[in-house]
Structure 1
Amino acid sequence: MSRPQEPHRPFLSFGNPFRMISPKGSYLSPKLLALLNTFEETLAGRIKKLKPEGREDVLRLSWMRFAMETLCGIHTDIKSLITALELPVCDWDEKWIDVYLDNSVKLLDICIAFSSEISRLKQGHLFLQCVLHNLGGASSKQFVRARSSLDGWRQHIASKNPRLDNCFCVMDGLVQTLDLPKIKNSSKGKVLMRAMYGVKVVTLLVCSIFAATFSGSAKRLIDLKVPETYLWAEAFADLQTFVNTESRSICSSGSVTVLKELEAVDSGVKKLYPIVQDGADPVEAEVLQDSTSDLGESSEKLSQGLDLLAKEVDRFFQIVLTGRDALLCNLRIGGNISDQVRANKNVEGPTVR
């Protein structure tokens, strides 16, 4: 049974951030302009490479892993830019610090939610291993065990992860912070805020796609409208339109799963289940063997893909965490850290095994 078409979220526009952070009459030195252009050109290149080659690559673990690798690269780029700007933390406006710390803890929460879902999917692999083990023999008792494991896998995959619901709320909060603080007297600050806008927009898009993939619903996909003044705006719009359109199409198809590797496993389970349920006669023995082999191959691809994705999510978590820790450390050295900032220091790490 197909699901009703889910409504599209409206494009979210926040005025013209370029005008907001580079008001009329402002001036950027050739050095600052070169740093900004280099950052934005690099960001545009990363976004272009992130666009899947074809429809079949959307919502696939290999693409999701590359997307997380791209986020790691982008967040590393912003760290390098901050260093090149030679803008000491003591010169940061308090509003910038508040936004940075708030955004970073939200990103850490999102990583934890994704890690939790990856861990849950990996636990489902245990059911499949039991199925394959029991189908190695031909006794009726083993068939009963295999059927029980198949039922267990179906129930496990159909269950929901409450952390993902919280993830959507966190992303909504990040969207609200795209309205950047106004910069008045700092050219370096304008460059920093403009670059951070790009980082946040791309991060939000990727996280939105991940959440839609894991939840099987495109209802909460985010559409962001970026002003054309950014060198990466066209590449971003192209990526967002392509991936969001395909994601909505896949999610509205009525499938239990939308992740491609998980869908392949589910298809194998559906082929195998009737044979295991009724018992395989001599005529179906070859069909059973082929179906078991196919399920083993698809489940192994899923498991390996989840392992690789988990590593990239954890790497992204560590990049965000170390950047946050570095800022907090510099604030302490400068004697400019509040009790509230200290309270935000303790963050739970992702737990993917």
Structure 2
Amino acid sequence: MYLTKVSKSNISSFLPFRSVRKPSPPPINFDLIARSFDENTLRLLKTLSPPSIGFSWLSAAVDVLSSIHAAALNLISNLKSSSEESLVLYLDHSVKILDICNSISSEIERLRQRRLLISLVLHVLGFSGNDLHIPAPEKLRKARDSLADWENDSSVIVRRSCFQIQKPEDLIRQLASTVEIAPRGKISSAKNLIDRTIYTVGVVTVFLAGVLVSATNGLPGIVNIRVDSAEFSWADSFNGLQSTASDELKRRVGAEKKKGLLVEADDVAKRARIVREVIDGIVLVDRSKEEVKKETLDNAVNVLGKATERLSDGLDRLTNSVNGLFDTVMRTRDGLVERYRAGHQKQ
């Protein structure tokens, strides 16, 4: 009989109850994650040039806001935390943001309806440049009435009373009240990181959505929030951009004395006023100078047409951006609700 020598190492590998120790995962570097999120926020804010309060800037601002909300969802989804308070706070925020999106969409639709008046004018006065005759008096009168309706903007009072729940500026103030105190100190847990992330999203939302509400509703700056640069690397960029936007809103409110602050809408209003003045002057013209007046009117109408095209493009772009923000916030909200439910099911 032959005996086979078996080493202890081989025996141990066959022991059924011997546990294999798995290497423990490395600790999460919450500070590094926070720094990455802050750097991304700073990069996005820097893409916004000093505001001109036009559709182009507002659309870009809404796109930045959508990106920050999406980044926040991605960050929070990868963390395990019992910070229900912060998640509930965001869910409450999201309802207000969705209401703000709806109110902005209503205001955009109002501007589209006003644009139809200008479209009617362009149609009525769209005579051929080869035609030496000025449009008939009834056409001029119809065009002038439409231009007067545009300038009067009598729908503003109706619009301001049609909000069923709350005015968008009140929603902005309510959001601002929840981010008055910034989280401070070492980021040593998932809860600290989530609190900080929710604060960042809230502050940027108050600023950018506030400018959007102010510009589309003819209001000066609604609220300003000063962020501590010692705690947040994006604070200086944020504070500077907010200060510039606030000054621009105040300047335009004081200078224009109008219900609308949007650059493209104001440009159309100015061009429409010129066309109306040309029409007013036609009734006094000597028939021998009709050709000169016809050329003046033709030029004014062409310039108004180009301004209206810019307004239309701006409305379309802002509509797409607001719809994108609405969809992003809804996805973020749905994701956090699912996370909240999953956390309770494990308990």
Range class of TM-score, shorter chain: 0.7 to 0.9
SS, match of residue 153 in structure 2? helix
Equivalent residue, structure 2, for 1:19: none
C-alpha separation in 1, matches of 2:223 and 2:234: 18
Determine if contact 1:40/1:231 at 8 Å carries over to the other structure.
yes
C-alpha separation in 1, matches of 2:303 and 2:248: 27
Equivalent residue, structure 1, for 2:49: 51
Equivalent residue, structure 1, for 2:323: 314
Matches within 5 A, 1:109-148: 109-137=99-127, 138-148=135-145
Determine if contact 1:121/1:157 at 8 Å carries over to the other structure.
no
- Residues 249-298 of structure 1 show CA distances to partners (whole Å, capped at 9, x for unaligned) of 12111342321101110111110112223536513111100100010000
Matches within 5 A, 1:92-241: 92-137=82-127, 138-156=135-153, 159-160=156-157, 161-162=159-160, 163=163, 166-179=167-180, 187-218=189-220, 220-228=221-229, 229-241=231-243
Moved more, 252-261 or 98-107: 252-261
Q: 1:186 to 1:96 in 2, by over 3 A?
A: farther
Amino acid at match of 1:242: T
SS, match of residue 224 in structure 1? coil
C-alpha separation in 2, matches of 1:39 and 1:272: 51
TM-score computed with the length of structure 1 as normaliser = 0.78
C-alpha separation in 2, matches of 1:296 and 1:42: 40
Q: 1:210 to 1:181 in 2, by over 3 A?
A: closer
Determine if contact 1:61/1:309 at 8 Å carries over to the other structure.
yes
Determine if contact 1:96/1:181 at 8 Å carries over to the other structure.
no
Determine if contact 2:173/2:222 at 8 Å carries over to the other structure.
no
**Structure 2, gaps ≥5 residues long:** 1-26, 128-134
Q: Per-residue deviation at 1:145?
A: 1.4
Amino acid at match of 1:274: E
Q: 1:215 to 1:314 in 2, by over 3 A?
A: same
C-alpha separation in 2, matches of 1:185 and 1:205: 25
- Residues 145-176 of structure 1 show CA distances to partners (whole Å, capped at 9, x for unaligned) of 11121122223376243249711111111111
Moved more, 196-205 or 323-332: 323-332
C-alpha separation in 2, matches of 1:334 and 1:94: 9
Amino acid at match of 2:189: S
Amino acid at match of 2:31: L
SS, match of residue 230 in structure 1? coil
Determine if contact 1:58/1:247 at 8 Å carries over to the other structure.
no
Amino acid at match of 1:159: V
C-alpha separation in 1, matches of 2:327 and 2:189: 30
Q: 1:157 to 1:77 in 2, by over 3 A?
A: farther
**Structure 1, gaps ≥5 residues long:** 1-28, 337-353
Q: 1:311 to 1:157 in 2, by over 3 A?
A: farther
Q: 1:258 to 1:182 in 2, by over 3 A?
A: closer
Which of 279, 292, 302 lines up with 1:293 in the alignment? 302
C-alpha separation in 2, matches of 1:197 and 1:182: 8
Moved more, 172-181 or 312-321: 172-181
C-alpha separation in 1, matches of 2:339 and 2:328: 17
Q: Per-residue deviation at 1:181?
A: 9.7
Matches within 5 A, 1:237-276: 237-256=239-258, 257-276=260-279
Determine if contact 2:271/2:303 at 8 Å carries over to the other structure.
yes
Q: 1:331 to 1:196 in 2, by over 3 A?
A: closer
Structure of larger gyration radius: 2
RMSD: 2.4
Q: How many residues align?
A: 299
C-alpha separation in 2, matches of 1:74 and 1:157: 37
- Residues 41-85 of structure 1 show CA distances to partners (whole Å, capped at 9, x for unaligned) of 111111122132xxxx5101111111011111111111121133x
Determine if contact 1:178/1:197 at 8 Å carries over to the other structure.
yes
C-alpha separation in 1, matches of 2:109 and 2:278: 30
Amino acid at match of 2:33: L
Identity across matched positions, percent: 28
Q: Per-residue deviation at 1:330?
A: 3.6
